[in-house]
A and B are shown apart, each in its own frame.
Chain A
Amino acid sequence: MFVQHSLNALTLGSLYALIAIGYTMVYGILRLINFAHGDVFMLGAYFIFYAGALLHLPWIVGVVLAIVVTALCGITVERAAYRPLRDAPRISVLISSIGVSFFIENLAIVVFTGVPKPVVRPSWLVSIIKFHGVRILPLTIVVPLICLGLVAGLLFIVYKTKPGLAMRAISKDIETTRLMGVSVNKIISLTFGIGSALAAASGIMWALRYPQIQPLMGLIPGLKAFIAAVVGGIGSIQGAVIGGMLLGFVEIMIVAFFPALSGYKDAFAFILLIVILLLKPTGLMGEKIEEKV
């Protein structure tokens, strides 16, 4: 039983972690909570559904296509709603992102309709394997592995390539980086693209794990992933992964061992958030930011 719960927690944690990375990267660079990120995650799940249901694409082509299209959506959101506000007070951008979030959700309700859609899953992912009496869903092993691979790839980009260097430089000081001849807007677009692609990957795997998708599915996972990013220390990729895993474990384990509390499941994440913010406002892995006068 415990092995099963751990695998479930690892899977949920991986999904949260992939979304949380998008929040943390955008916050690190623009100091913006991108409220629309959870809805980008939802778009990823819908694109894989339509790739299969309308276009009848082979599964793997559908996955690639969904990730690419979602990344383009993320970049478009930044171009249309955040870039014009680059010099505005930060709170304006925040309100803009809330507006974009509601816009995507309501547009999705109109275009995709509010009726939940069933996602077709490749059968090898969901046929239960018995191993020493433990019933294992292959999906719960595949998801954490994919997550591990994606995070490794991301860390390589951020720490070993030129664009990654530019990203890290922008997060320290955007003005100086611009003066050094870095095309800041391109790097910001790239950041939104990568973040949205990871959210799409998470959305696709979420749709495989919980195969009923609906237009508001991004709301709660998005909020929780943001919490994971804050708990781990916003701005830090490793922190986002740790925060996501922590949140996944807390949720699965409390529901597994205290079923009476399962109605309060959605409140745990927020209670965890407030406790962390009060004890260590910069999160587990965060750097302390000095307030400049």
Chain B
Amino acid sequence: MMGNRMRNNTLTLLAVVGLAAFLWWADGNFDGYKIQIMNLIAINAILAVSLNLIYGFTGMFSLGHAGFMCVGAYVSSLLILPSSQKQAIYILEPLIAPLQTAHAPFVVAVLLGGLVAAIFGLIIALPVLRLGGDYLGIATLGFGEIIRVFANNLVPITNGALGLKGIPDYANLWWNYGFMLFTFYFIFRIVNSNFGNALKAIRDDEVAAKAMGINTYKYRVTSFTIGAFFAGIGGALLASLLTTIDPKMFLFIMTFQVLMIVVAGGLGSITGSLIGAVVITILLEWLRFVENPITLGSFEIPGIPGMRMVIFSLSLVLIILFRREGLMGMRELSWDSLFRRFSKRGEAE
């Protein structure tokens, strides 16, 4: 067993080194569009795995992810925007005084964005997590909307509907994949700890978990807050990647996209969320072809704008109808399972 663990850790380390080498190579050889997609994959993976912790591992149906992303995005953007740029974009009402001069290095700003999102998550969780099931979904959806309405109206802080522009684009491949590895490592350790066992017990049967002496409320609140923290980090990175944010970006459809990744990858599978993020992000970009005119021989089919989202939403329904457990189900891709598969194949031959 110990030998296996040594081997697995070494392989994981090698995989990380391999990823770093690939990023280094991609940085030099890929064009801007491909790098943008790779960045989006990393951010989507962070968002998906944080929702997976809340929903897939603790069984809390939360639809408030966009709200936490919104908080993280605004907090970190306000900390990295240069003072002169702040003066230039707040044209309706000036930014309130302490925020005008507030400044932080990128990594601190992102972590603070996550932290403030986590505080919001905690404030929301304390009352709302007394509810269960569907009510929790609709209440968190409500909170997401409330955060967006406030972002739209608190003009001296958020610049209202105009949003923030010219956010420095620090979020390159290295930062995004660095934060992604950090998130995955953190959530992997949580899920495979005793704490994670309690979460899974709550997911599978809350009443039974309570009967076993688990303080389900405390565990649910903690899990929700951690999920909100990483959602905030994802939002902060996204803001810096896109360099412009406004309240409309954080509509319910944002949560829907993250949910789609989690469901497609498999609820309760960390590696599933990563695979889901890769597949869905590439699929969403690839689907752009239906909106462009297609030439088949002498025929030309005109592109239909908006068709991309029709196919996207239809595929969510089809996944739920025909492959409810997603790509991975609750299984994880691990070195052990890979080796077992290969050795079995060897024996068969």
Contact = CB atoms under 8 A, between A and B. Distances in A.
Contacts of B152: 263
A92 interface: yes
A226 B252 CA distance: 16
Contacts of B207: 291, 293
B149 A264 contact: yes
Interface in A68-103: 81, 84-85, 88, 90-92, 94-96, 98-100, 102-103
A277 B61 CA distance: 16
Q: How large is the interface on A (under 10, 10 to 19, 20 to 34, 35 or more residues)?
A: 35 or more
A105 B317 CA distance: 14
A152 B205 CA distance: 42
B108 interface: no
A274 B127 contact: yes
B310 interface: yes
A106 B310 contact: yes
Contacts of B170: none
A94 B316 contact: no
Given A81-B321, A98-B256, A277 B139 contact: yes
Contacts of B324: 88, 92
Interface stretch (B91-99, B226-234, B301-309): B301-309
Nearest to B310: A106
A277 B145 contact: no
Contacts of A264: 149-150, 153
B146 A33 contact: no
Interface in B27-79: 61
A112 to B, nearest CB: 10
A110 B316 contact: no
Contacts of B131: 277, 281
Contacts of A102: 253, 256, 309, 312-313, 316
Residue picked from A31, A92, A226, most chain B C-beta under 10 Å? A92
A94 B267 CA distance: 14
A44 to B, nearest CB: 20
Contacts of B307: 110
A277 B132 CA distance: 11
Contacts of A81: 317, 321
A274 B317 contact: no
Contact of A267 (B138, B145, B252, B263): B145
B336 interface: no
Given A103-B310, A278-B127, A223 B145 contact: yes
A106 B130 contact: no
B273 to A, nearest CB: 16
B320 interface: yes
A103 B127 contact: no
Contacts of A267: 145-146, 149-150
Contacts of B174: none
B143 interface: yes
Contacts of A213: none
Nearest to B136: A277
B82 interface: no
- Which 3 A-B pairs give the minimum distances between C-beta atoms? A270-B142, A102-B313, A99-B316
21 contacts: A92-B320, A95-B259, A96-B320, A100-B313, A100-B317, A106-B312, A106-B313, A110-B304, A110-B305, A114-B306, A219-B252, A223-B145, A263-B149, A263-B152, A264-B150, A267-B145, A270-B143, A273-B142, A274-B139, A278-B130, A293-B207
Given A219-B252, A269-B142, A277-B131, 5 more contacts: A84-B321, A90-B133, A114-B306, A270-B146, A274-B143
